[in-house]
Structure formats: structure tokens, C-alpha cells
Amino acid sequence: MDVVAPLLDNILATAEANLVECNRPVALISLTPGSEVAWDGCCDGELWARVIDITPVSSSRNCDIDYILVTAGLGVVRCFSGLDTDGLAPTAAEMTADTVSMLADADALLRALQANSVTIGRGVPLGPSGLCGGFEWTFTARLTLCPGC
């Protein structure tokens, strides 16, 4: 599956450049293994790409795999407002700022996906959970396992 990681690396690099261009850098950027992303570094900003599933596709004439469909996620999380020192919930202004921030990240990630040859799926808000929240887009790419074979 050595064709998957280069695609995800390229998408991550494009997303990082878009976030930096919008003055929204993140400290942790990774290809994330597994079905869930740990939000351990959310307050410094965390950007990831992850594999959701891989479906092999073969023609009806033989058993060889013609190509794979890779469904993946591209997401970012950051700190969200939470209870203050008096135990009071975030204000409307703080929640609005968190929403605007989340949508700015979503836009930067969407532009990264549009710059690559992928089919864009759903965009899903994440959290808030433990003072973290963010956004993840799903996308699908059709990849040949053996280019030129």
C-alpha cells in the first residue's frame, strides 16, 4: 500500500501550507494510525490525515486487483472555550469565536483537498470534548497499486 502514504503526505503538506497562509499554524502534523485520533496536542493545534478504509476493486474477468479506493480523513483540532475558574460555561462570544475558528480550519482543509485528485465526502464538526474541538473532512481517492503495470 505504498501508494497511500505519499498521497496523504501531499495532502497534509498542502493543508499545512493553507493553515500557515491563514495565520493558523499547528504544532503537530501526522499521518495517524488507527480508527481514532488522540487529541493530546489540541491546544497547540493538531493536523492529521488518517485511513478510514481501503476497498480493493477487481474486474469481473480476473482475480487481480485493478485499483483500490481509499477513504481517508483530513482533520484539525484546537482548544475550545470551556468552563472558567468560577465554573461558568463559555459566553456566547467565546462559542462564536470557536465556531468561526473551526470554520476557518474547515475552509483551509477543503482547499487542500480541492488541490488534489480526490473525491470530497462529508465535513464533520468534532467535539467539543475536554476543551478540544475541530473539523474533519472525509475523501476518497482511486489509486493503482502498481502504476504502469
Tell me the pLDDT tens digit for each residue of 32-51: 998 899 999 899 999 999 99
**Distance in angstroms (rounded) separating the CA atoms of residues 149 and 29:** 33
pTM exceeding the 0.85 threshold for the entire prediction: yes
pLDDT of residue 145: 78
**Distance in angstroms (rounded) separating the CA atoms of residues 114 and 56:** 24
Give every strand in the sheet of 46-58, ordered side by side: 28-32, 46-58, 65-79, 132-143, 119-129
CATH 3.30.2000 fits 4-143, yes or no: yes
